[in-house]
Structure 1
């Protein structure tokens, strides 16, 4: 079982690296683009590392602006300093009772209240390869991950942040203890 989960984790990491590589190559400067009031970060890729109750977490992430969500969801209801992003994460939880690979994808709201500081809140549906993380049975493979983070995120530069997240299944399964993780993230905004 452990070798099967390790192989799954390697496949997910390979897929994520391919997506990150393709995304960075396919987002060149567009000709004739008009200037916008976008916050400094349009795209970001990086690594997160942290730990939770009985396990360590390692994640690769890619974040990208979402003009459609901004126009149809954020702009009518929230201040101009708030922007929507899509957040894709693949990672691995490593605990004493085994490993679990996961993929999470969903929206995040980001605000730049002071200079290059960024606040982020998000909710991503999450799929786990093994839902027994650490010493916990999370109930099933489909979960939701909510997060709050604070980062220093200057334009076209190294991004440093701290993130607190909670993963649980919103009572889809009979077991729902959830998993909390505190992590440090290092990325690059481009």
Structure 2
């Protein structure tokens, strides 16, 4: 998590899958394009010695430029968490809204290393609770 907005420090570990949707913006034959994608994840959210299950489903935009070996993406969606009280921090409830953005570099063919900013919040539907902001490192293999 990102202090000082959080009362506790958070770590998230997950496995995710990304599916490119059939809509591509730009020249279809070109390897450079802006596309729609669907992402899902399952993992663990940990803080203050406590661990909860988290799963997310988001949709978003992705840009890939193989000449520069970069990938950029951002998305919004929903998440479910099994535990929403960690020490002094109450995240609100099991249903969460998710927003994320990331950048990656293709080190070798089909292997990407990247960084992602991940925001999770209940948008005050459970009252005046705090969300969680995370910086995440990612390792991706493209099938």
TM-score, normalised with respect to structure 2: 0.81
More strand by share: 2
Q: Which runs of 5+ in 1 are unaligned?
A: 1-50
CA RMSD across the alignment: 2.2
Partner of 2:53: 101
Partner of 2:39: 87
Partner of 1:151: 104
TM-score, normalised with respect to structure 1: 0.63
1:180 aligns with 2:133: yes
Partner of 1:65: 20
Contact 2:10 2:134 in 1 (8 A): no
Contact 2:13 2:44 in 1 (8 A): yes
SS at match of 2:127: coil
Judged with a 3 Å threshold, the aligned counterparts in structure 2 of structure 1 residues 97 and 175 are, in CA distance, closer, same or farther, namely: farther
Contact 1:57 1:92 in 2 (8 A): yes
SS at match of 1:146: strand
Contact 1:153 1:189 in 2 (8 A): no
Partner of 1:132: 85
Partner of 1:44: none
More helix by share: 1
Q: How does 1:1-150 map to 2 (within 5 A)?
A: 51-52=1-2, 53-67=8-22, 70=23, 81-112=33-64, 115-133=68-86, 135-150=88-103
Cα distance in 2 for partners of 1:155, 1:81 equals: 20
Q: Which runs of 5+ in 2 are unaligned?
A: 3-7, 27-31
Give the count of matched residue pairs: 132
- Give every structure 1 segment of 4 or more consecutive aligned residues whose post-TM-superposition deviation is greater than 4 Å: none
Residues 68-88 of structure 1: CA deviation (Å, up to 9, x unaligned): xx26xx67xxxx821011101
